[in-house]
Amino acid sequence: MKKTLMVAALTGVFATAAHAQSSVTLYGLIDAGVTYANNSGGHSLWKASSGTVNGSRWGLRGSEDLGGGLKAIFTLESGFNIDNGTASQSSRMFGRQAFVGLASNQYGAVTLGRQYDSVVDYLAPLSNTGTQYGGTIAAHPYDNDNLNNSVRFNNTIKYSSVNYAGFKFGGTYSFSNSAQFANNRAYSFGASYNWAGLNVAAGYLQLNNSLSGTPFANGNTNTAVTGAGAQTGEWTFLAGRQRTFGGGVNYTFGPATAGIVYTQTNLGGGVGGGISSTQSGRTGGIGFNGASARFQNFEGNVRYALTPALSLAGAYTYTRANLGGGVNPNYNTVALQSDYALSKRTDVYLQGDWQHISSNSANIGAYLNGLGSASSTQDQVAVTVGMRHRF
C-alpha cells in the first residue's frame, strides 16, 4: 500500500514538472480613439479610429522545453478593427503573425510561417512610427519603407541570432511557392547593437514580382499566384522590384531618448503604375512617370518621460521623392504625442500629426496614413484622442 502511494505521488510530481516545461500565453492590445482630420478628400473628417498608434490584436504564443537549451516556439497573432470587430490584414485569421520553430540558447532561432522582415525587426524600433510613440498616422509617406509593417510576408523562413554582448542579427527569405521561383518572393537581413544607452541598427529588404510581363511589388491579387506568393494581397507600390534599406541610431540619457533614422526605397520595373489607391486615397493612385521611383526619408525623433506615468514624444521626417518625369514632391511630416499611463496595462494619449507637400508636387495632395483619403491641398492635419489596453 505504501509503495502504491509513493508511486502515485512521484507520478504526480513528474507530471507537474513535465507540464511546467511547456507554456501557452494569451495576449493582446486594443487601441481605440476618435480622430479629426482637417481635409480628407476635400472635407473635414471626424471618425472613430482603431489602431491609430498600435494595431489592435490578440494572439497566442507558446514554448516547450526540449532540453539541452533547445525549445519549440510558436506565435499566432490576429489583427482586428475594434470599431466593427472585423479581421484586418485582408481578413486573415492570423494576419499579423503565424509561425512555429526552434530556438536555441546558444545558436539562435529558426522559424517558419507568416512573419515580419528584418527591417521591421531591427530598424523600426529606432523610428517613431515603429514604436508606441507614433504608429500608423506617423508613418513615412505611404509607409514606403515598411517601418510600420504595412506588409507582412508569407512562406517565410527566418533566422534570429542570440544576443552577443548587445549585438544581434538575422535574416528572412519568403518563398514564392511557385514554379517561377523568383516571382513574388522577398528577402531581408538586418542587425542591431546596444551598449549602455546607445542603440544602432540597419536593415535591407527586397521584394520581387514580375508575372506575364506585368510586374507588381508587394503582391498582386490579379495574378496566377494569388494566395500563394510571399506578398500576395498586400501591396503599396506598382513596381517590378522594391529595394529598401536604411540605418539609425538613438541614445538614451536619463529620462530622454533622441535618435535619427535614414531609409531609402528604390522602385524599378514600373509599367505606368504607382501608389495604390488604398494608400493614396485617390482612385487609381499616384502614377509614376517612368520605369522607376525613389523615396528618401530623414527622420529625427525624441521622447521624454516627465514622470513615470507621463511621457512626451515627437518626430520630424523629411521625405524626398522622385516619381519620374520631373515630378519630385517633398514631404514634411510632424508627429507629436503625449501619453499618460493609468496603470501598467492601460494608457490614454493625445496625438497630433501634420504633413505638408512642397516642390513640384504635380497636384499630389498630402496624405497621412490611415485617414482613408488624401487631402485636396498640400496640407493635412489629424488629431487623435485615444486609449490603449494590454492584456
Answer with the residue of higher pLDDT: 374 or 361.
Answer: 374
Dmax (CA) for the chain in angstroms is 92
The confidence band for 324, taking pLDDT boundaries of 50, 70 and 90, is confident
Query: To 5 degrees, how large is the angle CA 167–CA 173–CA 174?
Result: 140
271-307 confidence digits (pLDDT tens) = 444 454 334 333 334 556 667 889 999 999 999 999 9
- pTM for the structure as a whole: 0.86
32-53 confidence digits (pLDDT tens) = 999 999 999 999 999 999 999 9
Q: Which of 226, 230, 217, 218 is nearest to 175 (CA)?
A: 230
Residue-level pLDDT at 363: 74
Give strand ranges (E) for 96-197: 97-104, 108-115, 153-160, 167-174, 185-195
**Domain 23-390 class?**
mainly beta
pLDDT at 2 over 70: no
Q: What proportion of the chain, given as a percentage, has pLDDT over 70?
A: 82
Residue-level pLDDT at 330: 94
Q: And the C-alpha cell for 220? A: 498582386
What b/e readout covers 87-103, taking b as 16+ CB neighbours within 10 angstroms? ebbeebebbbbbbebeb
pLDDT at 248 over 80: yes
Instruction: Say which range, 241-255, 276-290, 331-345, 356-370, has the weakest mean pLDDT.
Output: 276-290
d(CA 176, CA 187): 11
Residue-level pLDDT at 362: 65
151-181 confidence digits (pLDDT tens) = 899 999 999 999 999 999 999 999 988 887 8
Q: Which of 302, 357, 387, 376 is nearest to 37 (CA)?
A: 376
Average pLDDT, the chain: 85
pLDDT at 385 over 50: yes
Q: Alpha-carbon Rg of the chain, whole angstroms? A: 23
Q: What is the mean pLDDT of residues 122-146?
A: 94
CB atoms within 10 A of CB 270: 24
Q: In the chain, where are the structural domains located?
A: 23-390
Residue-level pLDDT at 150: 87
Residue-level pLDDT at 325: 77
Backbone torsion region of residue 321, taken as left when φ is above 0, otherwise alpha when ψ lies between -120 and 50, otherwise beta = beta
pLDDT at 308 over 50: yes
Residue-level pLDDT at 234: 64
Q: How many CA atoms lie within 13 A of 84 on its CB side?
A: 7
Residue-level pLDDT at 289: 61
Query: To 5 degrees, how large is the angle CA 327–CA 332–CA 337?
Result: 150
pLDDT at 11 over 60: no
